[in-house]
Amino acid sequence: MRSVLYVVAAVLTWTGIAAGETWEAEVFPAEREISGDAESGARLIFVTSNTAEDSNLYFHQHSWLADSSLLVFRTVRSGKMELFGYIEATGELCRLQQPGHVLQGDTTASAFGNRMYVVRDGQVCEWTIEVASATPGTATQVSVTERIIGPLPELPGSVTGLNENSDGTLLILGFTAVPPAASHIVWMEPATGAVRQKAAIGAAISHTQASATQPGLVMFTRDSTDRAATLQTGSLSQRMWLVSIDKPEPWKLYRQLEGELVTHEHFWTEDRVVFCTGIPRAGYAEESHVKVIDINTGIARIICPGSWWPGGSPEEVAKLNWWHCAGAPNGRFVAADNWHGVIAITSGLSARYRVLTSGHRTYGSGPHPHVGWDPTGYRVVFASNQRGNSDVVIAELPESWKGDW
């Protein structure tokens, strides 16, 4: 049966911005430890060392404030998931949310100012964050000023994505619902709280993210499977789809083969999307490459190859294949990780790749790295299980890697 795709016009029920409040974030001593990768020489900064689970934001979201003064991450050290910040200048940590705050879905920092967007207690909110210079011998002061943008639209399902668009004029919200209820993608103005458009989609969705170049363009995925179950033209049987505020009927981005894996896509610069894809060769041992596709021409090519060989066990094959990837905001590099915690960097010029660091996950257990980029495109952040529990780590590209290779 063909999935139903339809669009409903926006109904504006919010007429203004509510004044918020300001609070001082609780600041904690630094936990960071700095080392170097034995193979690449990359500088590694273990931001956290707590025995609780700490993890970076998903790579679809911005993890750093625009001026790189603060890295946002999640932690359960209090017994529940909370948003914390890592202060770059001092290494101190801070709790960004207040006790009692109930956050929903994803959060993201802005690329256009020292603020972030969250969904709190059913409201879409903007948090402006100020990191004051520390006086010697005292803790750094971090203040958060909340502005309530507007209530979540009354739609079925749960929030599955929150992104800022390419020029900061819109927020992108995804709502996933179980059919026959429709999922939705919503374009909301952060300046006014107005809902500009809503696209309704007759399937469960996930991985909602905004284009890095086109303000109204959004990519989403079908949530039921990573593998193409059919080849029905125009159906939602395949993973990657695009939808636009001006063209809200979705269209397919990449045509999968029967059984082909496609997963963990990321909008890159110059109207490109990077993603992982492979064909199963023996059970779930497969050759999974990082590919890049031009969304205008539909042409895809391999930029970081995976590998497979007869007799290779799933564990062995997974050492040379890729599971998540993300493109740097400077357009220069693509990062990829795998089930063994290998972090590789591919040159966007030559499609050559180098291993930045490895050993950050034990095959079959531990968090996935979910590697993402800082605003400069020369540092990555990921979750590491190298020390037996999930820590947040920043890895800096060696200076020699910034050249033409």
Q: What is the pLDDT along the chain (405 residues), one digit of tens a residue?
A: 333 333 333 333 444 455 679 999 999 999 999 999 999 999 999 999 999 999 999 999 999 999 999 999 999 999 999 999 999 999 999 999 998 888 999 999 999 999 999 999 999 999 999 999 777 778 999 999 999 999 999 999 999 889 999 999 999 999 999 889 999 999 999 999 999 999 999 889 999 999 999 999 999 998 656 766 554 445 547 899 999 999 989 999 998 888 889 999 999 999 999 999 998 888 778 899 999 999 999 999 999 999 999 999 999 999 999 999 999 999 999 999 999 999 999 999 999 999 999 999 999 888 899 999 999 999 999 999 999 999 999 999 999 999 889
Could you list the beta-strand ranges (E) of 53-122.
54-56, 70-75, 82-87, 93-95, 108-109, 115-120
- Residue of 187, 147, 193, 196 whose CA lies nearest to 14: 193
Question: Cα(144)–Cα(201) distance, rounded to whole angstroms?
Answer: 36
How many Cβ atoms are within 10 Å of 326's Cβ, its own excluded? 26
> What is the maximal distance between C-alpha atoms in the chain?
67
Question: Cα-flanking dihedrals φ and ψ of residue 251, to 5°?
Answer: -135, 150
What is the Rg, in whole angstroms, of the alpha carbon atoms belonging to the chain? Answer: 21
Question: Cα(389)–Cα(13) distance, rounded to whole angstroms?
Answer: 45
User: Which region, left, alpha or beta, applies to residue 298 given φ > 0 means left and ψ of -120 to 50 means alpha?
Assistant: left
219 and 267 Cβ atoms separated by less than 8 Å = yes
Question: Cα-flanking dihedrals φ and ψ of residue 118, to 5°?
Answer: -135, 160
- Residue of 295, 272, 400, 276 whose CA lies nearest to 348: 272
Instruction: Specify the residue for token string 């909602």.
Output: 208
162 and 171 Cβ atoms separated by less than 8 Å = yes
Please report the pLDDT score of residue 229 as a whole number: 59
CATH number of 23-402: 2.130.10.10
**DSSP state letters, 373-384:** E-TTSSEEEEEE
Q: Which amino acid is at 52?
A: A
- Residue of 199, 201, 209 whose CA lies nearest to 245: 199
Sign of CA dihedral 244, 250, 251, 254: positive
Distance linking the first and last C-alpha atoms of the chain: 49
Please report the pLDDT score of residue 17 as a whole number: 53
- Please give the DSSP secondary-structure letter assigned to residue 402: G
Please report the pLDDT score of residue 248 as a whole number: 87
Q: Residue 208: helix, strand or coil by DSSP?
A: strand
The three-state DSSP-derived secondary structure of 91-139 is CCEEECCCCCCCECCCCEECCCCCEEEEEECCEEEEEEEEECCCCCCCC
**DSSP state letters, 239-288:** SEEEEESSS-S-EESS-PPTT-EEEEEEE-STTEEEEEEEEEEETTEEEE
168 and 156 Cβ atoms separated by less than 8 Å = no
Instruction: Specify the residue for token string 């009692």.
Output: 100
Looking from the CA of 261 toward its CB, the CA atoms found within 13 Å total 21
What pTM value is reported for the model?
0.92
Q: Residue 400: helix, strand or coil by DSSP?
A: helix
Spatial CB neighbours of 179, under 8 Å, sequence gap ≥ 6: 202, 203, 204
Please report the pLDDT score of residue 222 as a whole number: 81
- Residue of 245, 241, 206, 221 whose CA lies nearest to 105: 206
Q: Residue 318: helix, strand or coil by DSSP?
A: helix
Looking from the CA of 229 toward its CB, the CA atoms found within 13 Å total 9
220 and 204 Cβ atoms separated by less than 8 Å = no
Locate 202 and state its tokens.
């007759």
